[in-house]
Amino acid sequence: MKQGKCLLNDVHYQKIICGKLERGELHISINSLNKICLKAGVKADYILYGVSENKHLSIRKTIDNFLDKSSNEELKMYFKFISMIRSFVNTKTKEEKNI
């Protein structure tokens, strides 16, 4: 199937599929649900029922999933970026305490 671009990459097509899933007009396999959960960094309960854990835990797990999928070069870049932001936030906090 060589049509220039895959239908799954078409945003309009993705919206149609999501709408059909939400209305129950289309069903997905457990395997497909698993893939969606892995890509989105959420549990199946969240997708199926809108139920999630506490917010902090959910954010941490999402970040962990994201980092698990990153290359070593990406991890180095993220580390530098987070260190820089953390340093900036610590500096701002100290300045606010001195005011």
What are the tens digits of pLDDT across the range 7-59? 455 667 777 877 887 788 888 889 988 888 887 777 788 778 777 666 666 78
- In angstroms, rounded to a whole number, what is the distance separating the alpha carbons of residues 63 and 39? 12
**In contact, 52 and 45? CB cutoff 8 Å:** yes
**In contact, 37 and 47? CB cutoff 8 Å:** yes
The answer to the question of residue 16 being in a domain is yes
Domain coverage including residue 12: 1-51
Question: What is the pLDDT confidence band of residue 89, given thresholds at 50, 70 and 90?
Answer: confident
The answer to the question of residue 63 being in a domain is no
The answer to the question of residue 79 being in a domain is no
**In contact, 26 and 20? CB cutoff 8 Å:** yes
The answer to the question of residue 11 being in a domain is yes
For 41, other C-beta atoms within 10 Å of its C-beta total: 17
Residue with tokens 């396999």: 29
Q: For the chain, how far is it from start to end, CA to CA, in angstroms?
A: 65
The answer to the question of residue 87 being in a domain is no
